[in-house]
Structure 1
Amino acid sequence: MILVTGGAGFIGGNFVLDWFADPHAEGIVNLDKLTYAGNLATLEPLQKDGRHVFVHGDIGDKDLVSGLLKQHQPRAIVNFAAESHVDRSIHGPGEFIQTNIFGTFNLLECAREYWGNLQGLDKDQFRFHHVSTDEVYGSLSATDPAFSEENSYEPNSPYSASKASSDHLVRAWFHTYGLPVVTTNCSNNYGPYHFPEKLIPLVILNALNKKPLPIYGDGQQIRDWLYVGDHCAAIREVLAKGKLGETYNIGGWNEKANIDVVKTICQILDILKPREDGKSYADQITFVKDRPGHDRRYAIDASKIERDLGWRPAETFDSGIRKTVQWYLDNPAWIQGVVSGSYRDWLQKQYS
């Protein structure tokens, strides 16, 4: 069994679903605080799967985390738990400091105590996998080389600063205490089950609901886009074969300007679900004031993980974004649950 934290969020939820696509996969204890972005409806396909144990709780709760480790004896911890939206971190950084820094600290301490009491192969094979972001590296100019694992940390938002802090804690617990850790820093994820405050799901849903498609500034902010299924596959590779104490950057080799991403979504929707008036969804694009400290460009050099572990993304941006748009068209019930807020009723409904 493994312990997954934040496994009801976007990336964590996809990871859990992807993990159990293998009928022979070992079990998962899934610990999630169920903040606004945690959605148990994402995990509905696992409702009757005895290999999945969901626990509603906070990684900052020492007694809870220690108790779960003692009870379930996991061979690994995969830490997805994080506050992750830049805009929210600007308006309210406190939650980001609490979860991303103090929560990670508590998880590391509980893991260190648990690992210290293991014996033999159980101790040798234990892993703590910390999932982080490319935003810790700061911003790139148009001509800078992509972020490698050797880049210095230069976070520019409360969110990225809190994630950078958590990365440093993980590194320190390896070098000081010998805790067997690996860290991955990923580029912008997209795909199914994405909470509709991030760019891609927001644009899809606003387009379908005849609302403006808001673009910050001039829309020329560049991101490297990684399909979430590819990210999940990369994490499995690092968890299985990653070298202890190492960091692996995970990217999609897909640099796109925000405005181009939005126009691509509009073009796909024009084909799959045309507007009733025959016009393009691109007519709904609206430019709004840029947010404070908006990084201009992120790009991941994912050469190391390909060279050392043999992983490379299976999806191009064109194939991944088409799958994503189609998923949102095919899953109105999940979307309506998020939009209406009824997804929050799942905890009471399923675990009362």
Structure 2
Amino acid sequence: MTEVTEAGQPSRPQSVAEFSDAACDVISPAAWDFISGGSGAERSVAANLRAFDNLYVAPRMLRDVSHVSTASRLVGTEASLPVAIAPMAYHGLVHPQSEAATARAAKTAGVPFTVAMLSGTPVERIAESGADLWFQLYWLRDRGATKELVSRAEAAGCQALMLTVDVPRLGRRLKDQRNGFALPPDVYAAHFRGEAAIGAQRASAEGSAVASHTTVMFDPSLAWSDIEWLRERTRLPLVVKGILTREDALMATRSGVDALVVSNHGGRQLDGAVPGLTVLPEIRAAVGDTVEVLVDGGIRSGSDVLKALARGADGVLLGRPILYGLAVGGESGVDAVLSLLREELETDLALSGCRTVGEAAHLTTYEFSASSSTGTASW
């Protein structure tokens, strides 16, 4: 993971964001496009990053920050940071230790790890890490397979279910189509059998084998009644990921969910979908404290986590930087990403006058654009 400088001293990324450049050097070009790319012209990918770049915090002074805590509680799980690792498919694309290494690093860091339905490692093996696990679902055409996955997640000790609702079909990820992207033979959907497991390895006339695979498996008829069906069939807290409007947020609360993830899927679904950070305040205002509200998309630093908290989030999901760390150094690379994030967040909490994660919710934030600025919230 490290390089040696001319002075003979090891160098390493000094920020979470720097892992992106290091990872680009070691991930194959097609896998890099699959992980870092988005749909269409990638407007939403860029907008996610820009939303954080354009948001500023007004720090408070004389707050006695001699003791600062980053501890949090997310969806019933005690966490050392207000951060959970987002569900991401096929970690084996970037490192042979795959999801098992990521989970071990999550255990060390004390943050929840969300096992993707399309994980390359089965949940039972990931559970051997001892990490606090959540389990992500997509809505499958095979209702029996969905029930089986819920049972496996419960039996493996997962502490929450996360249903991703913004993929009735896969977004048009043009880089994957141009690359004719398909999984290598040693990477497959480990929670399934037969063609459902290896379908994303098959070359596709559409260009992307992953897109063809999900078209066959995912059910576009998902509706609010299905959320209620799932709610009735699990004892686990239920998280719905992919909400971007106050109307859908309210519908989710009426369906009995425990938490929302405000998300445009990292810019990988509808190109032009609004960044989660932008709509976060209105969704928080709509649901109040009836459910927990998380956000993802574009988070690259502890400062970004602070901004999300100030805008109303209870916590964040961290995605691509985790895979970048895994690519660069396996388990130790993910550990380094999470350690840097902790260091950045603790420093930024202190510099903004916050002794706890909860106090960040009272910070004033300002959005700046080329032509105007708008202040929001107050303490």
Per the shorter chain, which TM-score range? 0.3 to 0.5
Higher relative contact order (CA 8 A, sep 6+): 2
What TM-score does the superposition give when structure 2 sets the normalisation length?
0.31
What TM-score does the superposition give when structure 1 sets the normalisation length?
0.32
Higher helix share: 1
